Amino acid sequence: MNGIFLALAGMVVFFLGYRYYSRFIAERIYRLDPDYVTPAHRYKDGVDFVPTNKFILWGHHFTSVAGAAPIVGPAIAIYWGWGPAFLWVVLGTVFAAGVHDFGALVLSVRNKGQSVGTLANKIIGQRAKILFLFIILILVLMVNAVFAWVIANLFILFPSAVLSVFIQIPLAIWIGYLVYKKSKNMLLPSLAALATMYIAAIVASRVPALQIDLPRYFGGEENIVAFGLNGVAMAFFVWIVVLMIYVYIASTLPVWKLLQPRDYINSHQLILGLVILYLGLFFMGGAEMTAPVYNADATTPWFPLLFITIACGAISGFHGLVASGTSSKQLNKETDARFVGYLGAVGEGLLALLTIIAVGTFFATQGDFLSNYSSFAVAGDIGLGTFIQGAGQLAGGIFIPADIATTIVAVIVVSFAATSLDTAVRLMRYIISELGAEYKVQKLTKKHVATTVAVGSSAALALLPQGPQGFGSGGYLLWPLFGTSNQLLAGITLLLITLWLKYQGRNYLVTFIPMVFVLAMTLWAMARQLIFDWSGLGGAELNLLLFLLGSVIFVFACWICLEAYNAMRRSSQGPPKDQDASM
């Protein structure tokens, strides 16, 4: 199979999904109202609630939900062959992710911009809220710790990308000032900023003096710098500290000062990156998919694990947190929700599709692919690096030198991961504040106290325990729980939307069917991992931490399914008494 045919097939399905299916949902199911006063206007404060142009908000939403996950998941899942990964990315985006992200945004807007955690209390009940917030906190904490680890390591592996990433910050602040204080248009300054970043990347690729190479400054792996840390470990430690200081500042600033303009620049990065790589694929006359359609030799079964391995790029609970956490507070018109929510999911699907093609065409022969992707664990280790090299190979189709292409792809990946990181810290601050308000701990409702708790716990998880990827990878101790807890969150968010639609007397099958599928696959996968991977009964060694935490999440998942069943039965009697009147 030529990669071009795969790309065209996916694009056609995405186009039809956005053009027709999302319009049907917007007009017939969600019934968007252009005159509805959104929370961005009703509670406008210039910090979190800021009415925003839909193109700028799409940039924030899309780059926040994208992160590195729509690259990492498909780059690992292709271990089972490109066929299952392709079908789940394309169909999952159209019938699950788009509906989920779009619906979470509308539901939050119709409820004062509240998060899905708070809405669980309203729609399902107090008990559901407790376990829901527990799952959310575990999920966001893992994202913070692991994304910080990923960024720090990419800085070490690709020092030529660091200058561009740092240049973006003052440029974004300057653009925010121009737009909100001088009423200038954001498009041209953003394009100029992007051009500046890429010029810096090109120059840094060829001029070693412009590469911020901390391991070299610290004397490399052979030199012990301090506290028993060699040059590489010390560089990692310094990058983690720098990142945590950055996310503290970024997540407490008003959204218009840094978050919105930086994400808008990143959305251009993604569009330009997709255009470059897809054009590269077409201009080189396509490339054969040397990965098999289906890997019959895979020792780890794809069903149901595929559906928790590819989350972002198909459907992801983290998207519901962003949609109901930051995006809903910036939505200018309710009718913009289709463009921001559904098209954001489609953009991520395009990135996941490109990842499948870049990795699937990278190796010269099928034998090379199978020898490199020899096991599921190995796929997890090499997936991201293979994508960066494969993307660089595609960029060569339009005559971009490999070293420059690799640096630019690294800049894109780091920019996206940083966007997700500081959005996740901001979300964690909201959740901690909500818990503080719920349990009458007033100090936790303060912005800087909540942010300190969020950043401190994330840094501790990243740095203190020795993780499976070496020093500083403590987040990876919990990372095997990410797929199941993330998809469980997506299933519960679909449940909330389904109940809301049922209360309104509307057709709820559009969310009910993907909800049943996602919850079933997640519980099945979770039970399998508990028994065969972590309990010590399936041949693998006992992993007490994952077994205990996974068991708690599994019990909570079953519990919330029972709560959901009861809520569905109650819903025939009308909405709960504390339901917001605007619903």
Residue 269 has pLDDT above 70, yes or no: yes
Rounded CA separation 514/520 (Å): 10
pLDDT tens sequence across 197-250: 989 988 998 898 899 999 999 988 888 888 888 888 899 899 999 999 999 998
Any residues with CB less than 8 A from the CB of 187 and at least 6 apart, and which?
none
Evaluate whether 354 touches 274 at the Cβ level (below 8 Å). Answer: yes
DSSP string, 329-356: GTBSSTTHHIIIIIHHHHHHHHHHHHHH
pLDDT tens sequence across 76-121: 999 999 999 999 999 999 999 999 999 999 999 999 998 887 888 8
Evaluate whether 462 touches 236 at the Cβ level (below 8 Å). Answer: no
pLDDT tens sequence across 457-502: 988 888 877 766 677 777 777 778 888 888 988 998 999 999 899 8
Rounded CA separation 544/151 (Å): 29
Evaluate whether 186 touches 175 at the Cβ level (below 8 Å). Answer: yes
Evaluate whether 135 touches 489 at the Cβ level (below 8 Å). Answer: yes
Evaluate whether 309 touches 79 at the Cβ level (below 8 Å). Answer: no
CA triplet 483, 487, 493: central angle to 5 degrees? 155
Neighbour-count burial of 370, counting CB atoms closer than 10 A to its CB (0-12 exposed, 13-18 middle, 19+ buried): middle
- Phi, psi at residue 406, to the nearest 5°? -65, -40
Rounded CA separation 256/574 (Å): 40
Rounded CA separation 218/77 (Å): 37
Residue 441 has pLDDT above 90, yes or no: no
| Alpha-helix runs per DSSP H in 17-68 | 22-24, 39-42, 54-66
Evaluate whether 423 touches 409 at the Cβ level (below 8 Å). Answer: no
Residue 576 has pLDDT above 70, yes or no: no
Rounded CA separation 97/465 (Å): 34
Q: Would you call 464 helix, strand, or coil by DSSP?
A: coil
User: Positive or negative, the Cα torsion across 166, 458, 376, 153?
Assistant: positive
Query: Of the ranges 15-24, 130-139, 278-287, 289-298, which one carries the lowest mean pLDDT score?
Result: 130-139
Query: Of the ranges 70-79, 185-194, 469-478, which one carries the lowest mean pLDDT score?
Result: 469-478
CATH class of 3-463+487-570: mainly alpha
- Return the H-helix or E-strand segment holding 477: helix 475-478
Query: Once rounded to an integer, what is the mean pLDDT over residues 351-355?
Result: 93
- Calculate the average pLDDT of the chain: 87
**Which pair of structure tokens corresponds to residue 182?**
């001088």
pLDDT the model gives residue 578: 43
Rounded CA separation 121/27 (Å): 28
* Helix, strand, coil percentages in the chain from 3-state DSSP, rounded to 5: 75, 0, 25
Nearest to 29 by CA among 348, 337, 488: 337
- Phi, psi at residue 135, to the nearest 5°? -65, -40
**Which pair of structure tokens corresponds to residue 512?**
């009910």
**Which pair of structure tokens corresponds to residue 245?**
């200081």
Q: How far is CA 245 from CA 41, 249, 389, 458, 488, in A?
A: 31, 6, 31, 12, 31
DSSP bridge pairs for 226: 229
Q: Looking at this protein, which amino acid is placed at residue 156?
A: I
